[in-house]
Chain A
Amino acid sequence: MSDVVKFHFDVDGHDFSSAGEASVAVKQKLRALGYPPDIIRKVSIAMYEGEINMVIHASGGTADVEVHEDKIVIILRDTGPGIPNVELAMQEGYSTARENIRVLGFGAGMGLPNMKKYTDSMQIDTTVGQGTTITMTVNL
């Protein structure tokens, strides 16, 4: 039985300048472990989008990455407002980001669609008023 390598990060919800640090760290760790560039790109982009979403909408959260023999699993948890309409949120171009977020280059309405695009499976568990957990898997 192979060991599962796990990484845990706390995502600071109040500092946009550090948003993405967890994703960059995961990218570096996967590179050190010798994974191919296309896998690293998928994981790091999907995770970055999730990380940004947590900062924009949920005042931060946690990110856990599990590296299995046959897959990489990314679990993003927050205790933010939840997503009232997941189907709508999954549409490219739909965004509820405020203007002060948009001027930073975010809020294109591509976050969740990109997360789905770059992963082999994505599950959204969300409850309005309680939070959201997103589980993404990239197959190796």
Chain B
Amino acid sequence: MKLSEVCEALSLTAVVGDTDKDFDGVYVGDLLSRVMSRVDAGNLWITIMPNTNVIAVASLTEAAAVLLAEGVTLLDDALDAARDNGITVLSSELPAYELCVRIAGLLS
């Protein structure tokens, strides 16, 4: 499924980056080392961490995109880093659980 389809279905905000690409699976987490060992390439990663280290982890794991839950706003230096590294960042007012339930519904 394409990121753009999820954006439309769940009214996500495309903060930065390309949404015209596929994602495969979802991971939720905020502890970066844990995320590092669990996110697979192409996953959509849901988190509430808005700092620039999130962009580094997304880049290294080759996550399809970062989805910021609960209305969290990406910090300015993280936004710059996302632009520089071609990382897609989405955001939503919904909590992570609600996002997972709805995305699971879309994928099934």
How many chain B residues touch A (Cβ–Cβ < 8 Å)?
22
B37 touches A105 (CB 8 A): no
B60 touches A41 (CB 8 A): yes
- Residues from chain B with a CB closer than 8 A to the CB of A138 are none
With A110-B33, A110-B37, A114-B36 as contacts: A45 and B61 at CB distance below 8 Å: yes
Interface window among A1-9, A18-26, A60-68: A18-26
List the 8 shortest-distance A-B pairs measured between CB atoms, nearest first. A20-B56, A110-B33, A108-B31, A105-B32, A108-B33, A105-B49, A44-B60, A17-B52
A residues 8-54 near B (Cβ < 8 Å) are 16-21, 23-24, 27, 37, 41, 44-45, 48-49, 52
Does B26 belong to the interface (CB within 8 Å)? no
Contacts of A117 in B (CB 8 A): 37
Q: How far is the CA of A52 from the CA of B54 in the complex (A)?
A: 13
| Interface residues of chain A: helix, strand, loop or mixed (majority) | helix
Interface residue count on the A side (C-beta < 8 Å):
26
Which residue of the partner chain B has the closest CB to A49? B33
